[in-house]
Structure 1
């Protein structure tokens, strides 16, 4: 059986204030074409369909049109859940016109987790779609005050789903969670409302042959090859500039073993970081990509961003390389170090902010100032 796993569309999102509607239209087209080209039996969308609970109408229309294309142009089943950015009620509305024998769309949490049952020449495949829910909703749903963490929520959902499995069925779980060990991006929202532990151990999914995850935006397997994030189809921040975006094409054999093939997305606009002298960058080939510029010029450039946008109209950020210094992190358990002399601290600070070495007159001013401070402390 072939599955196409994607997630975290975040329809309605912007990139630094720039609309992504055109970019989303392109990736939705690519998903439809991948379903058709690969003879996919089931399309999985693992949450965060929209970027917020009340998305713009343009995003709703865009997604409705996408689902209509999947329904009319392909024979694929669909399993889709709400993520932490979605309104569960809105996702449930998408199921009104769905073919219940082929589509499983879950927005709100439920104590009854009936799977979508599909079949191939090797038997039955059961897909359990477990929508994201906060702890308070899960406590009410499962009538248990012991649910205190996202892991507790998923453990209850998985147990409910396991109780509905046909004997001998190969099992696929669709969930939206932060599994321990996953690699994060800056654009992901915490799964807890007031802090606390948001991670879920991979063992929560024991028994599943494939776990289709949403929430983390980088494609990756966590804990085991069959527990996987497809990642988001678009980069939503410059920290993802080095992260290739893809859908996961999953092929499951008779024993439930899976192979994974990443199908790269071809974005209309990429997120890129460019580094160099301002004059050199102005000679680059024009591009509509989202650009973060790191200038290596020694002196500030007048109207630097304005002039760069003549070449890169979607340039979003401009910083100078000299301001990039990350804070130095010291080991708490490292060996003791001698206290630095105050004059050395001042000299090091001035060097760090890019000033030239101190002249003899400057040295005299520093020493005199420190002397006055010491006398003041002694007097007090």
Structure 2
């Protein structure tokens, strides 16, 4: 059985005010091309299809057009779930008129939801779709008031799904979760309430031959080679600027063993972080990539963003290196003798701006300290 695993499309998302609609169009074409080229039996989208519960109409049309092409241009089945960014009801409504022999679309959390069962030369493969759900929804669905954290939600879903497996079937689980050991980035939204434990144990998926995960945007495995995040197809923050985004082709053999192949995405615009003086950046080759510029100039520059956009029209964020530096202040407090005020001030200034006091500044501080001494003695 050949599976194409994707997740976290986040259709409708912007990056610092820049629309990613054209970038997403290219990515969806590449997913379709990979389906055709690999002759995958099924496409998995493991949640966060849209970036928000009420996505723009253009994003909905874009995804509907993509699904229509998958249906008409390939023979692949489709299995997808709602993620924490999606409206579960919106995703669930897509299943109303679908061919249940070829599609598994799970939006709201449902009890005893049957798996999609596909056959290959080795027998049946059961695909269980476990949509993201918060604790309150799971307590209601499973009539279990003790469900208090994401681990409890997923454990209840797995137990429910396991009971519906056909005898002898290999088992693929599709979930949207933060599995312990995974490496997160800066663009994922937390899955638990403030102060709650949002991670779930890899052991939760015991018995599954492959676990297709969504939520974390960096491609990675956790707890075993068969538990995998495909990652997002695009970089959604400058913290992901240097990551190679990809989709995963999974070959599931007759014994349930998996072999994977990574297919890299080629977005039309890279997300890049450029660092240097304004003059140095303006000398670089023009590009339509999405740019964050970190200027190393020691003094403020005149209208730097306008000048940068003459070379990089999609520059959308600018900062100065001196402002981004978070100084690590280390001051030892001596209880043996009072600290010299002049030395404390000199050390503080050097820590904050990475330069010592000048002679003129030293003289000013000395005068100010002398004035303070005079006022204290007069009091």
Distance 1:251 1:371, change over 3 A: farther
Deviates more, 1:39-48 or 1:275-284: 275-284
1:376 deviates by 8.2
Q: Which residue of 1 aligns with 2:308?
A: 308
Partner of 2:150: 150
The verdict on how the C-alpha distance between 1:101 and 1:299 changes in structure 2, with shifts beyond 3 A counting, is same
Which whole-Å deviations, capped at 9, do the CAs of 1:112-154 have from their partners, x for residues lacking one?
1311101111111110000000000000000000100011000
Q: Which residue of 1 aligns with 2:345?
A: 346
Aligned twin of 2:60: 60
- Range with bigger deviation, 367-376 or 169-178: 367-376
How much does 1:222 deviate?
1.0
TM-score scaled to structure 1, two decimals? Answer: 0.93
Superposed CA deviations along residues 184-224 of structure 1, whole A, max 9, x for unmatched, are: 11111111244411111111111111100000111111111
1:44 counterpart residue number:
44
Return 209-218 or 179-188, whichever deviates more: 179-188
Match of 1:213 in 2: 213
Matches within 5 A, 1:228-307: 228-307=228-307
Is the deviation greater in 94-103 or in 57-66? 94-103
* C-alpha distance in structure 2 between counterparts of 1:377 and 1:127, whole Å: 79
Aligned-residue offset at 1:313: 0.6
Pick closer, same or farther for the CA change 1:356–1:189 going to 2, 3 Å: closer
Aligned length: 375
Task: Report the more deviating stretch, 131-140 or 162-171.
Answer: 162-171
Deviation at 1:287, TM superposition (A): 0.9
Shift of 1:362: 3.1
Provide, for residues 239-261 of structure 1, a one-character-per-residue CA deviation record: whole Å limited to 9, x for no partner. Answer: 00011100011111111111111
- Rounded to whole Å, the distance in 2 between the matches of 1:303 and 1:202 is 51
The Cα of 1:326 is off from its aligned counterpart by: 3.3
Mapped contact 1:125–1:171 kept (Cα < 8 A): yes
1:12-63 Cα distance to aligned partner (Å, 9 max, x none) = 1111111111011110011011000001001000000001111111111000
Tell me the TM-score normalized by structure 2. Answer: 0.93
How many angstroms does 1:281 deviate by? 1.5
For residues 193 and 35 of structure 1, do their structure 2 counterparts lie closer, same or farther at Cα, with a shift above 3 Å needed?
Answer: same
Match of 2:102 in 1: 102
Task: Map 1:1-380 onto structure 2 (within 5 A).
Answer: 1-328=1-328, 338-339=333-334, 341-354=340-353, 357-367=356-366, 369-370=368-369
Gap change, CA 1:355 and 1:256, over 3 Å in 2: closer
Q: CA deviation at 1:379?
A: 11
CA distance, structure 2, for counterparts of residue 201 and residue 376 of structure 1: 65
Shift, 1:378, TM fit: 10
Q: Look up the SS of the partner of 2:226 in the other structure.
A: strand
- 1:377 Cα deviation from its structure 2 partner: 8.9
For structure 2, list consecutive stretches of 5 or more residues without a partner in the other structure: none
Does the 8 Å contact 2:350/2:357 carry over to 1? no
Contact residue 44 and residue 79 of structure 2 kept, 8 A:
yes
